[in-house]
Structure 1
Amino acid sequence: MNNNPSQPIGIFDSGIGGTSIFKEVHSLLPHEDIIYLADSKNAPYGYKSKEEITALCKKNTELLLAQNCKLIIVACNTATTNAIETLRETYSIPFIGIEPAIKPAALMSKNKAIGILATKGTLSSELFAKTSEIFAKNTAIVEVIGAGLVEAIEAGEIENTSTKKLVRQLVQPMLDKNIDYLVLGCSHYPYLIPLLKQILPKYIVIIDSGKAVAKQTKFILHSLGLLEKDQKKASIRFYTNRSENILKKFVPEFKVSYLDF
């Protein structure tokens, strides 16, 4: 395990979605160097097999380890729910995962009905099933696969008419079941929050995992003595194996480089 506080945090995702996690981490830990990998060439992970997802996660991890990262954030729900146990068994570096925030939604729901918008890979995973069983025994969970959403977001087509129509269709089964909490189970989906707020009744609370992941990252770094001590300007590097222009739209203030991985 790398144990130098000045080494960077690594973040990877199946594309640009994890930038929503990056923004929360960078906001909470502004002096930490960060390297971000957008594996957009292989997005979305949600329709791949567990074996394919695990292989991609290992490839991403090894790239970040080669850059001397001290901790890795798996900023993808599908990757976390399918591969994080294997990653933790295989590598000695600490990993922070991201999974749908079922627990807080189930605990706070007054209607005892919550919606989960996620990828097929997340909803069909063992980890998701276990979490639902433990924390949502007395709550109706309306699971909806966000088919087409990752592709639309990766293409930068968030505000167009077809995306709005698709989102309306996807949330309707949840509205029919009278949910009062909507859990976003994919790191791409926070970019849809402005659109969701236009569509959903005001009483429905939208939950994503960004702030919780940032807090957990700080806690783990602190507990391992790996928090950056210098109040310096952070070095932030973004790499994508697809179009730099698309990733750049989501992090316009940072340099984005192409990397063939």
Structure 2
Amino acid sequence: MHDSNAKQIYAASSSNESHGAHLQQAVEFQRSQFPTLQAPGLGQANAPIGVFDSGVGGLTILSALRQELPSEDYIYVGDTAHCPYGLRSEAEITQLVLEIGRFLVERGVKLIVVACNAASQAALATLRSTFPVPFVGVVPAVKPAAQLTRKGRIGIIATNQAARSPYLQQLIADFARDLETYTHGCSELVTLVERGELDSPLAEEVVRQALSPVLSKDIDVLVLGCTHFPALRPVIERVAGNNVQVIDSGAAIARRTRSVLEAAALLKPSIKQGKQEAPGHLEVWCSGDPASFREIASRILGHPVVVRQASQLAQTSAAAAREEREE
């Protein structure tokens, strides 16, 4: 019934081609421009926390952060003009996130959470060596999965790029060496979330097809290795069934962020509002269409949000394309 729509989802997820290794030169040039960058939030406890992702998926991490650290202020950036990152080369991802890093640092953040598995794997080290603020990346929940499994068989779903990355293979070698692990790339689930198909018949059809390779292995733990995927949790849990435990890294990343802030004495002093902490301010930006982002973000966060467009971030890949033609 939803065959043609499902095919469109798969086609959209595989339409982006990486620009190639020459982008590394552009990355190095950008980094050379950053040493004089002003970082007004550096060392300031009252400064906001920056959070970014290729799209709306990182809002699942933002939700966990706001639950763990409700008094903090946040600036979120969704790079929807270039989503999904999971189909791009590491060089291109690095180029894109360097621009986002500069955008956030210039807006005075004290710490940045890279709420995207593909960006964390491709560019976290570069971000840390480029900007003066601390960074927290996301790590697929392989270690907890290894501790939870009773059958000794775990499944890991991620974007296409992350699923085949040496980083994920090293995590498996470190924490699940003696287990049967089954990884599968399904960037089509990112496309589902970005289209707002969070719990629909189409979503269930695409999720069922995407999970089939790992569910057929009789796993009992499924790792959501992309921050978009928790937005599909109701559908994923329904398709996986009661005998499969579904886990992600959102709460662990929020706790890690707290510990980094505490160690640097950067926790914002809480203000009581009755018996609860007064919630901090949230500022949301995207590089693509703010209207569609606002609709999906409001559904994921559970309340209306105001979204502004960071149009300068949308120019990054256009510049890269020009450089490629010139070469």
Partner of 1:240 in structure 2? 286
Deviation at 1:198, TM superposition (A): 1.6
> In 1, Cα distance between the equivalents of 2:177 and 2:270?
46
Partner of 2:16 in structure 1? none
Deviation at 1:233, TM superposition (A): 4.3
Quote the RMSD (CA, aligned, Å): 1.3
Q: Is the 8 A contact 2:45 2:110 kept in 1?
A: yes
Query: Does 2:71 correspond to 1:25?
Result: no
Gaps of 5+ in 1: none
> In 1, Cα distance between the equivalents of 2:121 and 2:196?
26
Q: What one-letter code is carried by the residue in structure 2 that aligns with 1:91?
A: F
Query: Does 2:258 correspond to 1:258?
Result: no
Secondary structure of the 1:88 match is helix
Partner of 2:187 in structure 1? 147
Counterpart mapping for 1:38-77 below 5 A: 38-77=78-117
Q: What one-letter code is carried by the residue in structure 1 that aligns with 2:305?
A: F
Q: Which moved more, 1:30-39 or 1:169-178?
A: 169-178
Partner of 2:206 in structure 1? 166
Q: Do the aligned partners of residues 200 and 233 (structure 1) sit closer, same or farther apart at CA in structure 2, a change above 3 Å counting?
A: closer
Counterpart mapping for 1:64-213 below 5 A: 64-213=104-253
Question: TM-score, normalization: structure 1?
Answer: 0.96
> In 2, Cα distance between the equivalents of 1:233 and 1:81?
31
Q: Is the 8 A contact 2:53 2:78 kept in 1?
A: yes
> In 1, Cα distance between the equivalents of 2:247 and 2:169?
19
Q: What one-letter code is carried by the residue in structure 2 that aligns with 1:88?
A: R
Q: Is the 8 A contact 1:82 1:127 kept in 2?
A: no
> In 2, Cα distance between the equivalents of 1:200 and 1:50?
31
Gaps of 5+ in 2: 1-38, 272-277, 314-327
Return the index of the structure with the highest Cα Rg.
2
Deviation at 1:230, TM superposition (A): 4.1
Report the identity percentage.
34
Deviation at 1:92, TM superposition (A): 2.3
> In 2, Cα distance between the equivalents of 1:246 and 1:117?
26
Deviation at 1:93, TM superposition (A): 1.2
Deviation at 1:147, TM superposition (A): 3.2
Q: 32, 37, 48: which one pairs with 1:8? A: 48
Q: What one-letter code is carried by the residue in structure 2 that aligns with 1:246?
A: S
Secondary structure of the 2:156 match is strand
Q: Which moved more, 1:161-170 or 1:79-88?
A: 161-170
> In 1, Cα distance between the equivalents of 2:111 and 2:215?
39
Q: What one-letter code is carried by the residue in structure 1 that aligns with 2:287?
A: N
Question: TM-score, normalization: structure 2?
Answer: 0.77
> In 1, Cα distance between the equivalents of 2:81 and 2:167?
26
